[in-house]
Amino acid sequence: MPYEFFRASLYAGGFIAFGAIAAEAQAQSATVEVTDSADTTELKKIVVEEGEDKGDKHAGAADRSQSIYISSEELELVDPQSLKEVFAGDASISVGGAMTTTQKVYVNSIDELNLAVTVDGVLQNNRVFHHNTTNYVDPTLLKSVRVDPGVAPADAGPGALGGSIVYETVDAADLLEEGKNFGGYARVSYDTNSSTFTEAGSLYGRANGFEFLGYIKYADGDDYTAGDGWTIPGTAADFLSFLGKAAYQSLDGHRIEIKAQQVQDSALRPYRANFGDLPGIEPETRVYDLTQRNFSASYGIEDAQGLWDPNIVVGYSDAKTAIPTYFDRRSGENLLINSEGTAGTWTAKAENTFNLDEKNSITAGVDFYSTESEYIDDIYTIDGLREKSTNLGFYGQARLEPLDGFHLSFGARGDNQWFEGLGGEKLENFGMSGNVYATYDINDYLTINAGYSNVFGGIDLEENFVYVPSWDYAGLEPVRSQNFTAGIEFNYNGWQLTGGVYRTDFENFREADGNKDFTTEGFKLGAGYNWGNGFFRITYSNSELTVDGDHVDSYYAGDMGMPIGQVIAAEIVHSFEQYGVTVGSSLDAALEYDGPEKAGESALPGYAVFNAFVEYKPIRLPNLTLRVEANNIFDATYSDRATYGADYDDETVLQELYEPGRSFLLMAKVKF
């Protein structure tokens, strides 16, 4: 532990020193103006600041004081190829699983299954099979992401037990250049580690208030190689993604939008997809056929003011995992017996924000979901096994500034849930939830904040690949959580320092047909500096997950969360505007963690991974972007801290799912 801490501290110190040198150099150099002409184009300054309006009309409210924003500018800068890269800049968000098909998101060590997750306002329910991903989101489609860790507002939706994640996908207006009504782009990339080619393209336009956008992406390659030289079977990319959007916006801002999105992957994966290798006689790989879809229709008024500011969303999301073979341990044969799990959710929301003035508003509304999860196979459950739930909720959230510098946000919601078990058992539960958040500006530079919530979550549907017809639902209780968070933030001349503590307690978390309690708690620190055309930032998170007061291993943590421990994330980026060149580097590090060791398994090893990129946008060819990334530069052999199984010995898990070793990504993008 001391060595790991020293090494991580050394890396962190290097980032801070490099940032300070770059900032000083920038301050001492002459300002270079790059303006539009026949031969030049204006380059956007890099601005990455917490609290900035990221397309969120409630940005700056008290309940956003600890929200983590990932803006369209940041997404364009990072050019993420997976959810791990989307969230790489914040240590309190971990993404484990190595491949996009197995990646899961954890916020303050809490599994995203226990957060309210929405895509364009549509609630997600993708709990199908614990060996693969929960929400398979193509990051190229994202316009912005917001994470509300711990305390979430009432209008975040039902089930925000440990917070919420809000994904928003791009619109035509986000991609069109100023003064143009039609455009598109083509993008191609090549990853040297896995020989993966990725092609993507999009067309978009607008006319007379109508907008359209079409997008397609395909990735295909070979198995990747870990840092130790092991080529991991079943890790080849085979990814296809679609997005279609159409919208109409009137001159007075009334906007109607419809969207359809699908991502799919059908390829050989490790037999247990989130493991690298297991002892035993099972085959190395089998096919996992994954499909996730989202459909939505929405209505609202852009830049609405006053007491009428409606938002109506109706949508459907589903996920399917089909496995066409079954290994019979008795005969040692791989039988063609198809098994399939599906989960689908209809969701609707109608709300209005009463804008009392520029600083005070009240949002009130109703929401609804109906979800069904089914497992079926060709031999044991021909007729299928199903759980269902329906929820009707009503809510209100006030965002006020009663005094200068004092922001207050508080809200409540009531939810009535109807649940149906595998044998037709019916349970009905009603619960109230409440939250309160306050921030106070001590002076122009220093702000403190604190929040609390008590959340009713109903009875969650269990993962359908583990359904057991003999379950007894009689003692199953609805889950409830309590969240507490407090923090401090300092901003001065581009510098930002942050700190926060948090604790989340779950009562009656569902475990098959029983309940258990668990807790996550910890603290996080952050520092950063923004000098206009560059920035650096570093974050540190230290979290503990306990179940009934005891430390647990990654298996026993189950769908509650993951033992994470101490994680460090750092980034530094600078744009040389006069040359059209942007360079950057990042650090992903974790310290050794003995939590699983206290539970009778092995301590989680520490690691440190460096990445870097160079991006070139020629001044004379402003529609061309060339990019080179060097990932895992020092070829570290490691599995991400949020990846399942790193705490087990070889008798249980022969090899955890390692992240790719050193690789270079070459990318070219042309806009027109």
Q: Give the tens place of pLDDT for each residue, 156-198.
A: 999 999 999 999 999 999 999 888 999 999 999 999 999 999 9
| Structure tokens that stand for 506 in this block | 């779950």
- Mean pLDDT over residues 201-223, rounded? 96
| pLDDT at residue 219 tops 60 | yes
Q: How far apart are CA 489 and CA 583, in angstroms?
A: 28
Is domain 2-633+662-671 given the CATH code 2.40.170.20 in the classification? yes
Which of the two residues, 6 and 114, has the higher pLDDT score?
A: 114
Residue 65 vs residues 60, 444, 527, 621: alpha-carbon distances, Å: 7, 16, 16, 40
Q: In the chain, what are the domain boundaries? A: 2-633+662-671
What does the pLDDT read at residue 54?
61
What does the pLDDT read at residue 24?
39
pLDDT in tens, 503-526: 999 999 998 888 899 999 999 999
- Any idea which residue has 């080529």 for tokens? 231
pLDDT in tens, 374-413: 999 988 888 899 999 999 999 999 999 999 999 999 999 9
3-state SS assignment for residue 86? helix
| pLDDT at residue 450 tops 60 | yes
3-state SS assignment for residue 293? strand
Q: Which residues, other chains included, contact 69 with Cβ-Cβ below 8 Å and sequence gap of 6+?
A: 50, 52, 54, 56, 59, 144, 145, 146
- Mean pLDDT over residues 465-493, rounded? 94
Name the strands in the sheet holding 116-119, side by side, starting at the edge strand that comes first in the sequence: 68-70, 142-149, 163-169, 116-119, 122-123
| pLDDT at residue 8 tops 60 | no
Q: What is the pTM of this model?
A: 0.91
Q: What are the backbone angles phi and psi of residue 284, rounded to the nearest 5°?
A: -65, -40
Please give the single-letter amino acid code of residue 513.
Answer: D
Query: What is the overall mean pLDDT for the chain?
Result: 89
- Any idea which residue has 């830049």 for tokens? 303
- Radius of gyration, CA atoms only, the chain: 24
